[in-house]
Chains A and B, each alone.
Chain A
Amino acid sequence: MTRTALQDGSGATTRPVLQMRGIGKRYGHVVALDGVDLDVNAGEVVALVGDNGAGKSTLVKAIAGTHRIDEGTVLVDGQPAELGSPAAATRLGIETVYQDLALCDNLDVVANLYLGREVRRSRTPFLNREEMERDAAAVIADLAAHLPRLDAPVAALSGGQRQAVAVSRAALWGSRIVLLDEPTAALGVAQTAMVYRLVRSLRERGLGVVVISHNMADVFAVADRICVLRLGRNAGTFLTSETTPDQVVAAITGSAEVGPRKDS
């Protein structure tokens, strides 16, 4: 495994945590993905952009293990990997923050972080609430995710704080890759800024981060690299630092030169 020094100021390395080659996926006779490549390095934020129906969701579902791919190869940390189920993806250290966040509103922050993965007191069916609270507090402090109280039911939190809970859960369990599906779709300005901060924290923890977004402002605020999909195929990869939004929009819409700006 190659482990090289920092490439640029962003913290991204060239140590790949995820390499996808020639990914294909069909629903009946509809081709959703056709020969798609995707690389994510440790400590790098990759934005996955594209118009509706470009295959973003399908690709993310393939990484998360909820949809099986029909063709192509996947390497996780350089090893061939079978992402056949969500559990398999989880075992490989891949965590997904769904657009609906998948939180239990009636449970507190700690319980949501450990949902389905509760820590027990050794060999008993009893919860080890103290260990869970300690470790949850540590990860939340590490991400600088400001949450009022860990024993607050998630229903009492704001939209941004709920997003912070979901991201913290991904950071707690994800050892390699975190997928975020439209993380700012329902948020206001201040809360969006908070999510950007969380995403950067994930990157600083050395995770590979994949963000799906429709929003060019999001993409240019957090991403190191932008991967554009169009009609199920790769339509270009851009380094954020060397690209303008217009170039990315052009790749999304498929116009060769810079066309009229689409609503972004």
Chain B
Amino acid sequence: MTTTSPAAATAPPSPDRDRGRAAVRAPHLTGPVLVLLGMAAVWGVFQLLNPHFLTARNLSNLVLQIGVLGTLSIGMVIVLVLGEIDLSVGAIAGVSAGVVALTIRDGHLPGLAAIGLALLIGCLIGLVHGTVITAFGIPSFIVTLAGLLVWQGVQLLVVGAGGEIAIRDPLVKAIASTYLPPAWGWALAGVGILAAAAVVGGNRRRRRRYGLAGASVRSGVTTLAVVAVVALGGAALLNSYFGVPWMLVILVVLLAAGTVLMRQTTFGQHVYAIGGNREAARRAGIGVRRTTIVVFVIVSALAALAGVLEASRQFSASSALGGGTLQLNAIAAAVIGGTSLFGGRGRIYQALLGALVVGSVQNGLDLLGQPAAIKNISTGVILVIAVVVDAIGRRRRLDRGAFD
């Protein structure tokens, strides 16, 4: 094999190649499929126990409930892929909500300006975390643990003695309680399908232009079919209740933007590289410090946005907002979705999968009138099951692929 034709290295089939393929394809397939199977099981059990679970009304409610968690989890996936962690996102959400409420009530800022200010503060908090982590080489676990304490304190100061500030701004209140008209919902689903078709078609065209073997037609059609079913089914379901909530639109936009950032840009590639082998990334000339700082800015900005969304759901900013289990559920959701705690492995969509599982369990147990204790225990058990299943699957794949 001495030709320099680009296709030559991949073209000739050999036993080696087939073995490689089996080892490689498995992780792409099994992860999300397992999570979806798990979610189907969760949904099935709750539907059996309470027939109201799989109704348009409850599923619409579920979408609103996971908006905040999903937003936090997207940031968590990015920071986990980098091989770091952020324990302070809940507290940052609390500070952000407090800033929005306070600047609207006392500063008479318009809603949009208050939200912008809160997001800016989120970015600054992330800048502080990232700078401290990289400048002094302190583990992110410690820096963001300190951040958790500091920002919870700041949240108490911002919210003040009353413990809660009501929000009257119409825009902020509207975010979590507004639904698109049905026609817009359908249009959005159509846009989603067209975008997916453009991506699939564009990839095929570019690969052909560079003389590379294209992905199989079947995989492209499968992708489009899945997107179409989810988009049209979701639109139909949500339109049969109040319509597609703004919250879902925001979440989908964040998921799409996060996916493009992580999979299509050099920045995302560097995040994966640092998470995979920090020393190799450094030797390859990747700006490890700069990338780390930017990741913490992104995760904190997303946390601030989550705070705005939660304040919008509650019509207020309380001293408890972002506290409790939200912080830990954000990590749990990312890990349940399939993101590794050890860096280098994770996809943005896994934030949505994990948030759906965690949100479904909480929603279902709420419907059954179970107390918080049962919800926490169930979420914890599911987290362990998810990690164990993932660990077993990974060991099997390594056994198949690595002994050569």
Contacts and interface: CB of A to CB of B under 8 A. Distances in A.
A157 interface: yes
A82 to B, nearest CB: 18
A258 B344 CA distance: 52
B25 to A, nearest CB: 10
Interface stretch (A33-41, A96-104, A220-228): A96-104
B24 interface: yes
A141 B277 contact: no
Contacts of B283: 86, 98, 102
B396 interface: no
A107 interface: yes
B281 interface: yes
B207 to A, nearest CB: 6
B206 interface: yes
A106 interface: yes
Contact of B404 (A86, A104, A127, A158): A158
A104 B276 contact: yes
Contact of A127 (B7, B8, B212, B265): B265
Given A126-B264, A141-B3, A149 B345 contact: no
A149 B4 contact: no
Interface string B1-12: 111111111100
Contacts of A111: 269, 272-273
B210 interface: yes
B284 interface: yes
Interface stretch (B14-22, B95-103, B127-135, B158-166): B14-22
Contacts of B4: 138, 141-142
A102 B280 CA distance: 4
B156 interface: no
A149 B20 CA distance: 7
Given A104-B276, A106-B344, A116-B281, A148 B9 contact: no
A188 B62 CA distance: 55
A70 interface: no
Contacts of A146: 1, 16
A115 B8 contact: no
A158 B398 CA distance: 11
A150 B265 contact: no
Contacts of B404: 157-158, 161
Contact of A149 (B21, B207, B284, B286): B21
Interface stretch (A43-51, A73-81, A129-137, A210-218): A129-137
A147 B8 CA distance: 11
Contacts of B344: 104-106
Interface string B264-299: 111101101101110111011110000000000000
B9 A137 contact: yes
A185 interface: no
A141 B9 contact: yes
A145 B206 CA distance: 26
Given A140-B9, A156-B20, A115 B402 contact: no
Contact of B398 (A134, A149, A155): A155
A155 B272 CA distance: 14
A22 interface: no
B20 A133 contact: no
B266 A103 contact: no
B209 interface: yes
B276 A107 contact: yes
Contact of A106 (B5, B17, B272): B272
B188 interface: no
Contact of B345 (A106, A118, A140, A142): A106
A105 B397 CA distance: 14
Interface in B1-52: 1-10, 14, 16-17, 19-21, 23-24, 27
Interface of B: 1-10, 14, 16-17, 19-21, 23-24, 27, 206-207, 209-212, 264-267, 269-270, 272-273, 275-277, 279-281, 283-286, 344-345, 397-398, 401-404
Interface of A: 86-87, 90, 98, 102-107, 111, 115-118, 120, 125-127, 130-131, 133-135, 137-138, 140-142, 144, 146-153, 155-158, 161
Q: Which 9 A-B pairs have the closest CB atoms?
A: A148-B20, A116-B284, A104-B276, A158-B404, A106-B344, A106-B276, A156-B401, A102-B280, A130-B210
30 contacts: A102-B280, A102-B283, A104-B273, A104-B276, A106-B345, A107-B272, A107-B273, A111-B273, A115-B284, A116-B273, A116-B285, A127-B265, A130-B207, A133-B6, A134-B210, A137-B8, A141-B8, A144-B1, A144-B2, A148-B19, A148-B20, A149-B21, A149-B24, A150-B9, A153-B27, A155-B398, A155-B401, A156-B23, A156-B398, A157-B20
